[in-house]
Structure 1
Amino acid sequence: MKKAFVALYVTVLGVFLINPSFSQTLATQKVPLDPDVKMGRLKNGLTYYIKKNTEPKNRAELRLAVKAGSVLETDAQQGLAHFMEHMNFNGTTNFPKNELVNFLQKTGVRFGADLNAYTGFDETVYMLPIPTDSAGLLDKGLQVLEDWAHGALLDPAEIEKERGVVLEESRLGRGAQQRMRDKYLKMILNNSRYAERLPIGKDSILKTFKPETIKSFYQDWYRPDLMAVIAVGDFDVAKVEAMITEKFGSMKPPVAPKKRTKYDIPLDGQTRVAIVTDPEYPQNVIQLIYKQPNSKEKTLQDVRNNFAQELYNAMMGQRMQELTQKANPPFLYGGSQYGDFLGNLDSYTSIALAKDASTMKTALTALLEENARVQKFGFTQPELDRAKKDFFNNIEQYYKERDKTKSSNHVQEYLEHFLHDKPYMGAAAYFEFVKKHLDDVKLVEINALAKKYITDKNRAVVVMSAEKTKDQLPTEAEIRRLLAEGGKDVTAYVDDVTDSPLLKTEPKAGKVTSEKTLEKLGVTELTLSNGVKVLLKPTDFKNDEILIKATAKGGYSLFPDERETGIFTSYLVQSGGVGPYNQTQLQKFLAGKTANAGPYVSELTEGIGGNTNPKDLETTLQLIYAYFTEPRKDADVVAGVLANQKSYLENMQKTLTPEKVYSDSLNAVLTSHNPKRAPLKPESVDKVSLDRAVAIYKDRFADASDFVFTIVGAFKTEEIKPLIEKYLGGLPSTDRDDTFKHPNIFPPKGKIEKTVYKGLEPKSRVTLVSSGEYEYNPENNIQIEALQEVLQIKLIESLREEESGVYGVGVSESTDKFPTGHYRLSVAFGCGPENVDKLVKRTLQEINKLKQNGADPKDIDKFVAETRRKTETALKTNSFWLDYLDDNTYLGDDLDEIFMQDKLLKSITVASTKAAAQKYFNDDNFIKVVLMPEKK
């Protein structure tokens, strides 16, 4: 189902624009819910949704949703709805202390990546994916949900430990955005309860609240009448229903339940303006917010009216995008869309990222003009026809993939129903409804929406910019004048379309000269007469998806003195469109098709990526052929693109954020200040030449013989061979033997420590890097992956759970095969400045334990389980096989390597992790870079 938006009943001179009898019929019919979902309610009031779904197989997605969030907190509880979410992972009836995370990791569920939760203003949702192919795991998963629902221990000692973790999460959110938000939030939320109850809460309360205060929140709001259990996956529905009834039916509803107040954001008809600046904010943003009462999608008429809103958003989005594709764009980015806002409101929001502070009025004027243009003149019939084609194509694809839709997607639908009363018709019913009623949506109905959305009532304008540029910003009086006068002189929209064939001439088809079957992989390898190689892997993972990727070695490394132009090459060529179509015309030409393809030129490679379906495969191959043979140069559009890019970089340079300074400093250290890795600056754009970009592009795509195309998805090899011979076999070929010129830039040897002082907030960041030469092979790769994961597990335990010093910690590994083997192991975390030395010391202690003793066998088991579970799921996706085949071909690795995984996992032992830690945590090559706040 699409989002539910406001229902529309429009009259012009008393005449219904929708047939009255049609409207009345649908308006009296409630939206039917998908009968394949088992929905029920226990006697205690708890709601449940259950659906059998086998994508992915042997997996289930479980959710516990609670209609309780930060808006229900008392003054003394601010932040405790979110703190309660944390505490449910720190000891429950059946999983004391950290046993919950420990148990789930053993089953292959990753903390953070899989097992997670979130707290909003009005709800708290717990997420648990669980395997179903091992006896008792599904039952255990539901036991976890039951524990969350009413079994939290809330041990005072655990609460004390978790304070530091939550305070660190709060610290991560500090900065320019937060300081500016605090200035304008009450204004746009009309001083409502929502403005006073941000989920993160107040640090002063998080530091000092008594355990009884959070227990009170848990007892008041975690109750069955405010809860839903959602289970979607590969299981027996009846058995799961019985499990839910058994586990949750025993929950007692409160004798005297506290009233669950529904808070609103009042509408007072006023136009409010906020102009906020900050010393660390590098951009120039303006938002127009037109607030509207929220409407629920209760009847089929509401569903039908929602089509108009979807089509309006699509057409408005196209127009705003076109503005950025002109020779002199009025802003770097712009958009307008109607949708959910907060609480009881929807909003029509227009937003622009201005080039600089001096052009804020230009950006605001452009937003007002586009809104006025559609208000005065409406959209055109061709625009609507294209939007309908795109809309129907998306819904048809949704329908075709109905039996291949992931369980996590279904879960989201049922969450929306429980939390926000949004219905779920199911793909088949919704598709049939769209087929029947989409044509009934007329242009006059959609054009009337602009007058409803865009009014002079209940508006908010927010301007955000850097402190140093505040004198260049429009004043509140100027903004109000623009609101009153903007768009008065607009003219009607001119639809820029063309209907030429995509290709000037038909390709001269090639032939398959050799064919090899890789039976184990299910891959057919073709060699075409022009030298192009094609790897074909037909799958049944999706019914309507085909993914394409082509890669060749070379890239802009072959033009070492033209790095800046090389970086922009593919972007500038794509900005011009292809063949007879400029970029705007091309998007319109492809309306209603799933035909996406685009070229890229990176430092070491060039290639093309695309996605399509069986119906539009030929169009996509035509597009690929055109990008090889008919790249298009548009000097006017490129001038605008480069001007925008320069403005963006100038803004970033004028107001250097702590994150930017730290990132640039870390990059400089890791690359020995090599200019080939220096971040782009405004003057870099001046070195970019469109003519040279086109020349580089044509050079890299002049010879297809060194390209390997990988095609994965819903096709039959014999059926698509003629298309491959025609379009890929017809590509130009000079049979050159190409490779890249690797810059050989890796972290320097030796010990390096650097401290960067930047930032107003008491925030620090730490990055520790070990690196060195490396023998690249599957055996070493699995060992370094295991080392990364077992250290990650240990640092979460030590830095987060024991030290309470971080919210999160990341351990990453990377390995390079070219030009010779190199590896890099990095540890990164954010923390309070006062804790940097302590946490770095603890990190090094954990690393030394690995070097002395090897990994804990339990942690090895967790890595093995996680890897196996992750691979099982990945092997059933087209995206995995596309990247796997492409990467292994590029690297020259064995394509059968995936079948070695069991053997490789068995090689991970306590001894092997000890040897790997000693080898790869090299004390002689160690880099530490720390961000500290500015010295006062």
Structure 2
Amino acid sequence: MKVINFNLFKMINKTLKTCIIILVFQLYFFSSPNLYSSNSQDTLLLDPKIRHGKLPNGLTYYIKPINDSSSKIDIRLFVKAGSSVLDPDQYEIEHFLEHIAFKAGNNMNIGKANDLGFKLGEINGGTSFDFTGYYFKGIETKEKRDIAFQLIHDIIWDLDFKDSYIVSERSVLINELVVRGRFHSNSIINGLENSMLGRNPISKMNVIEHLNTFPNEALIRFYNDWYRPDLMAIVIVGDIKDLNGLEQEIMERFSKPKNVENPRSAKIDYSAYRNSPPQFIKKEHPYLLENSNNKTINLRLYFRQKEVHEEKGMEMIINEQQRELLFQMLEERLKILQKSYCTNYVAFPRSLFPTFTDMKIQFTIEGGSERDVIINTIKVVHQVYNDGFLEEEFQESIKRRLEELSKTDTSSAQYWSENIRNHFVFEKSLPPNKESLIINMFNNLTLDEFNQFTKGYLSSPFEDIDIIILAPKGNRIFSHSEDTFRDWIKEASNMPTVPYTKPKVPQDLIDSLTLVNLKERGVLKETQILPETTQYVLENGIKIVLNSFDQVLSEKTKHSNTLSFHGFTSKGVNYYTSKDYFSALYCIDIVKNSGVGGLDKFELDRFYEDNGFTGQIIPYIEYNESGIRGNINIKDLETALQLVYLHFKEPNKDELAFEDWKQKTNSSFNLYRLNEKDFESTVKSTLKDITYLPKGSAALEGVSLTDLNRSHAIYREIFGNAGDFTFIFTGNFPKDELLSLCRKYLGNLSREKSKKGTITEKSLKRYKLPKSISHDVYSTEFMEGVKVQLVYASKLNHKKFDWKDEIRFKLLRQLLKFSMSQKMRFHSDKGGIYTVSVGINPKKDRLFNEIFVRFSCSPEDVDRLILEAKEEINSFRNDEISTEKLEQFKHSLILDLENNYNERKVVSEKLYHFYKNDLPWYTLHDEKEFINSISRKDIKDAAKKLLQNKPFEFKMIPLPKL
């Protein structure tokens, strides 16, 4: 009698099923006319609704019409070359070239394009391992299209690498690296990873010195080697009226030949890495001060995939989707280890590109727990490898994956641009109805098939793992040898696996007995003050404001079956004495960390996942206000209101959760952007802005001054008197059903009087604006460069809010941002700055008018750039802007208003200010009419009003190294 190998049978069945799927799609595609030229790869599928071709010079083009009536198109240029093809002397050169390409065109550059009508951000670029991209968004006129095409033409054929361009852009790139976190842990360990894989030169020890001194020849060599038409593609997506005409224009503009001697291959060979022995790399963090609060260990494990075959066509899509599902499910397993109080690490799996190369698990660890973390993680991976996943968790993950896919906006320009990029750069198939095909694949995928895929993907021996460690100097982890780490991994992989059981999921938020006794309370008053808005007052004093959107409008603005709510009261941190200040400030965070209704935050998370609850319920506290906000789907309406009820009535009080909150708040995990937060705190304290809640070091110091008992009592005081609250609901919802649920849950909240003696509200009427000063402050943690903030503060000249002033100020800010960016970045021949931000204080109850200019730069550039910023401010104060530029920004502001006027967030915000701050109601027509009436003189007057005083000048400078 023959013994049947059922596992083999399953594998054969799965393989046969996959082959049939692939064969069906290939038969369909290759029967489609004009899909590809005869020299195309047979397995690289492309939606025939995309117009595609290759010019005689090798340049590829894709044109995808989207009938969205916007009259806008996006244009992108992709170069199939990035950091992975750099020579050893070209570190960051691909990024530098992306900058120079926008500046060095003989006929067009980004500064000129902005002057001719492009808004800031509509032209941009980016680099990756495998490609460089140039992006032109929101093109609605032929004039702007001509500008974009000319700039692309110059990038390909007509750049002038002048010394002045290169010199001016060196400091700009350095500043971008500073702004984007090049000296933070994640960037450093990414560099170690790339060097290990062999797709990037080894990072320079002194990045700044390298970027200031690399020879021009290295830049020009990269350009000549890789900026070739045969490695380029032009992608156009949008509301295209004349497809044939646009294709003909591309042929006429971009068919110019570009001869390259001995062209190099852009294909990356990973064989050296794959054939090398397992790597062990450890490095001290080079950018931490000696007494830094940052104690984080960054650790990565890389599980190599030994059996590799080239994936193409539908096979690539199917395997890619299964890999994503595997990482999602493995991450859920790993999260369970972390879902307990007083854990001190985070672990999550990610794919490594190419996706068939490695799976990596990333860790951030504190407190010397690395052994337990590694052993527990390997045990989970080993458990999945041996036993696979359970049917229940598989079905839940499939459901979530299908929900995510159903939300994909396949009509957006971004969707098509990214998919076409992947087709060109990574040779990923792009069949028609791709998302539907993936959905169908998931609907037909079985647990047995998926577990077989998982076992194959995790088949690498557990000793064949690469390890990278980045930690602060002197950390105890450096005392462990490579053998120690590998012994831990071996120990865990040899442990017997225990069958996995899912954690218990709460069945209900509120027990059945309590629920039965929650009766609908009466309505004392019903009024209609505003259009489409009805106000109710319940028996306990709560105001309910319902603003239900029209069904047709909801579908047009993607509001179908969704709503936002905002409940608020005028009791905030300012009500409490200095002794209770931090207990009040942190009372919300402490309850969030503890949970409500007797369920801790981990049990609540499991309830949300099990019930498909994806809404957001966010309690908060501010200087003179507390409340709760929510964004939910209609199907979750009752669950959301039950959560609101529990946040008011049954906040948990838990000593262990409190200790966990203190530990995590003071953890170095929270030190990210500490310099920025401390700088902001310095600015606000100098301005004597008592409405500003402390951040950064001051907030961390307040943790030790927080008392659990007092904090819990303050929370109960704030949310114990529901009669002080107003709730505003906006969106598309059944009005009668919502009101009924409000009467049931909000109507049963307590109405209590505040205890006397606890309220010490500070008066804001005596506020006096201090005199302008210059103030230097040292950074808290390591910092490259100098942070600068110029604050122009002026008195409020009226008691009542003026929405017309707000619009003038907003226009002024936008115009000033554009002008300063042009002067200090895009038209600058000296460089020094990557970005400048201009902001205004948007608070309706602010103490003073405030407009600020913020940027960072190198120490040698700071005085010059501060002077340039002040000069530009003075020109706005003294000169009227051009009519053309003003009209352009007015038109843009009106379009933004029209596009967003019926967004839930906008409507909710207006209703909130009407009820909370007693502000006047005004319509879209009122705003548009006023914007159209704004003159050049109005902007000049607004500039004089906001910019009349000498600015406060703040600089954060690097702390001297010990």
* Within-5 A mapping of 1:684-723: 684-713=702-731, 715=732, 717-718=734-735, 720-721=737-738
Aligned position for 2:125 = 117
Return the offset for 1:258.
1.1
Per-residue CA deviations over 1:868-895 (Å, capped at 9, x if unaligned) read 3433443464444444544554433334
Which of 791, 795, 808 is matched with 2:820 structurally?
795
Tell me which amino acid in the other structure corresponds to 2:706: V
Distance 1:477 1:443, change over 3 A: same
1:273 maps onto 2:281 in alignment: yes
1:391: which partner in 2? 401
1:558 to 559, 575, 587: 575
- Measured at CA, do residues 887 and 617 of structure 1 come closer, stay the same or move farther in structure 2, by a change above 3 Å? same
Q: CA separation in 1, counterparts of 2:917 and 2:615?
A: 26
Structure 1 position 159, deviation (Å): 3.9
After TM superposition, the structure 1 = structure 2 runs for residues 323-362 of structure 1, keeping only pairs within 5 Å, are: 323-329=337-343, 331=344, 333-339=345-351, 341-342=352-353, 346-356=357-367, 358-362=368-372
Q: 1:667 to 1:691 in 2, by over 3 A?
A: same
Q: Which residue pairs with 2:169 in the alignment?
A: 162
8 Å CA contact 2:901–2:924 kept in 1: the answer is no
Per the TM alignment, residue 123 of structure 1 is displaced from its structure 2 partner at its CA by 1.0
**Residue 186 (structure 1) shift:** 4.9
Q: What is the aligned partner in structure 1 of residue 32 from structure 2?
A: none
Which residue of 608, 611, 615 corresponds with 1:590? 608
- Show the counterpart of 2:470: 463
Q: How many residues align?
A: 902
Does the residue aligned with 1:287 lie in a helix, a strand or coil?
strand
The answer to whether structure 1 residue 642 and structure 2 residue 651 are counterparts is no
Q: 2:225 touches 2:260 (CA, 8 Å); kept in 1?
A: no
Residues 1:565 and 1:768: Cα distance change in structure 2 (over 3 Å): same
Question: Offset at 1:365?
Answer: 4.2
**Amino acid of the residue matched to residue 588 of structure 2?**
S
When the two structures are superposed, what TM-score results if normalisation uses the length of structure 2?
A: 0.82
**Residue 40 of structure 1: CA displacement?**
0.7
After TM superposition, give the deviation of residue 750 of structure 1 in Å. 0.9
Question: 5+ unaligned residues in a row in structure 2: which ranges?
Answer: 30-44
Task: Give the drift of 1:525.
Answer: 3.1
User: What CA deviation, in whole Å up to 9, does each residue of 1:546-583 have, x standing for no partner?
Assistant: 14131312234333443333333333323344446433
Displacement, 1:488?
5.3
Q: Alpha carbons of 1:515 and 1:383: their partners in 2 closer, same or farther (altered >3 Å)?
A: farther
Contact 1:791 1:811 survives alignment (8 Å): yes
Which position in structure 2 is the counterpart of 1:59? 72
Q: Is the 8 A contact 2:645 2:749 kept in 1?
A: no
Q: Which of residues 227, 236, 240 in structure 2 aligns to 1:235?
A: 240
One-letter amino acid matched to 1:38: I
2:248 counterpart of 1:251: no
Equivalent position of 1:784 in the other structure = 809
In structure 2, C-alpha distance between the alignment counterparts of 1:226 and 1:298, rounded to whole Å: 20
The whole-number CA distance in structure 2 between the counterparts of 1:362 and 1:516 is: 61
Q: Taking structure 1 as reference, are residues 760 and 855 closer, same or farther at Cα in structure 2, changes over 3 Å only?
A: same
Q: What does 1:369-380 align with in structure 2 at a 5 Å threshold?
A: 369-375=379-385, 378-380=388-390
State the match for 2:526 in structure 1.
514
In structure 2, the residue matched to 1:7 is: none
Give the aligned partner of residue 6 of structure 1: none
How much has 1:794 moved relative to structure 2? 2.9
Structure 1 pair 352–82 and aligned structure 2 pair: CA distance change class (3 A): closer
**Residue 445 of structure 1 pairs with residue 452 of structure 2:** yes
Distance in 2 (CA, whole Å) between partners of 1:865 and 1:543 is: 26
Matches within 5 A, 1:280-295: 280=289, 282-292=294-304
Residue in 1 aligned with 2:843?
A: 816
Separation in 2, partners of 1:397, 1:587 = 22
Task: State yes or no: 1:769 paired with 2:785.
Answer: no
AA in 1 matched with 2:363: A
Q: Alpha-carbon deviations, 1:365-402, whole Å to 9, x = none?
A: 4434443444455443333332233222222333xx55
Give 1:276 shift: 1.8
Q: Please, which of 488, 497, 502 is the counterpart of residue 504 of structure 2? A: 497
> Is 1:104 matched up with 2:117?
yes
Residue 856 of structure 2 is aligned to residue 830 of structure 1: yes
- Separation of aligned partners in 2, 1:876 and 1:253: 51
Distance 2:892 2:724 in 1: 37
Structure 1 pair 261–297 and aligned structure 2 pair: CA distance change class (3 A): closer
Aligned to 1:842: 868
Contact 2:617 2:640 in 1 (8 A): no
* CA shift for structure 1 position 270: 1.0
Q: What pairs with 1:504-583 in structure 2 (closer than 5 Å)?
A: 504=511, 505-506=515-516, 507-510=518-521, 514=526, 516=528, 518-519=530-531, 523-527=532-536, 529-530=538-539, 531-538=543-550, 539-540=554-555, 541-542=557-558, 546-553=562-569, 554-560=571-577, 561-579=579-597, 581-583=599-601
* Number of the residue aligned with 1:315: 329
State the match for 2:37 in structure 1.
none
Matched, 1:599 2:618: yes
Q: Which residue of 1 aligns with 2:633?
A: 613
2:428 counterpart SS class: coil
Looking at structure 1, the residues matched to 883 and 422 of structure 2 have their Cα atoms a distance apart, in angstroms, of: 41
Alpha-carbon distance in 2 for matches of 1:200, 1:252: 39
Mark the CA change 1:188 to 1:160 in structure 2 (over 3 Å): closer, same or farther.
closer
2:392 to 355, 360, 382: 382
Alpha-carbon distance, 1:814 to partner = 0.9
- Aligned to 2:878, which of 834, 852, 860? 852
**1:5 aligned partner:** none
Aligned counterparts of 1:916 and 1:346: Cα–Cα separation in 2? 58
Query: Shift in Å at residue 118 of structure 1?
Result: 0.7
Asked if the contact 1:325–1:637 (Cα under 8 Å) also holds between the matched residues in 2, the reply is no
- Counterpart CA distance in 2 for 1:545 and 1:296 is 44
8 Å contact from structure 1 (residues 533, 708) kept in 2: yes
Q: Deviations over 1:491-545 (max 9, x none)?
A: 55442223523333054235675363855xxx43342535322233342222656
Instruction: Work out the CA distance in 2 between the residues paired with 1:656 and 1:500.
Output: 40
Deviation at 1:599, TM superposition (A): 3.0
**Is 2:313–2:429's contact at 8 Å kept on the other side of the alignment?**
no
> Given the alignment, which residue of 102, 122, 140 partners 1:89?
102
Q: Could you tell me which amino acid in structure 1 is paired with residue 558 of structure 2?
A: K
- Is the contact between residue 195 and residue 201 of structure 2 (CA under 8 Å) also seen in structure 1? yes
Matches of 1:423 and 1:886 in 2, distance apart?
48
Q: CA deviation at 1:777?
A: 1.5
Residues 207 and 917 (structure 1), Cα distance of their counterparts in 2 relative to 1, 3 Å cut: farther
Separation (CA, whole Å) in 2 of partners of 1:182 and 1:193: 15
Alpha-carbon deviations, 1:235-294, whole Å to 9, x = none? 326256435534545332537561333123422241413142343361412322315458
Aligned match of 1:4:
none
User: 8 Å contact 2:65–2:243 — kept in the other structure?
Assistant: no
Q: What letter matches 1:318 in structure 2?
A: E
Q: 1:250 to 1:608 in 2, by over 3 A?
A: same
SS in 1 for 2:200: helix
C-alpha displacement of 1:469 = 4.0
**Aligned counterpart for 2:944 among listed residues 912, 918, 923:** 918
Paired residue type of 2:534: E
Q: Residue 17 of structure 2 is aligned with which of 14, 17, 22?
A: 22
Q: CA deviation at 1:190?
A: 2.7
Q: What does 1:199-210 align with in structure 2 at a 5 Å threshold?
A: 203-204=209-210, 207=213, 209-210=215-216
Q: Could you tell which deviates more after superposition, 452-461 or 744-753?
A: 744-753
Does the CA-based 8 Å contact 2:793-2:947 persist in structure 1?
A: yes
In the alignment, the residues of structure 2 paired with residue 709 and residue 17 of structure 1 have an alpha-carbon distance, to the nearest angstrom, of 59
1:126 matches 2:152? no
Q: Per-residue deviation at 1:101?
A: 2.0
State the distance in 2 between where 1:61 and 1:600 align.
Answer: 39
Change (3 A) 1:826 1:450: same
Partner Cα separation in structure 2 for residue 747 and residue 382 of structure 1: 63
Alpha-carbon distance in 1 for matches of 2:487, 2:666: 30
**1:235 alignment partner, SS class:** coil
In structure 2, the residue corresponding to 1:16 is in which secondary structure? helix
In 2, the alpha carbon distance for the partners of 1:440 and 1:362 equals 31
What residue in structure 2 maps to residue 867 of structure 1? 893
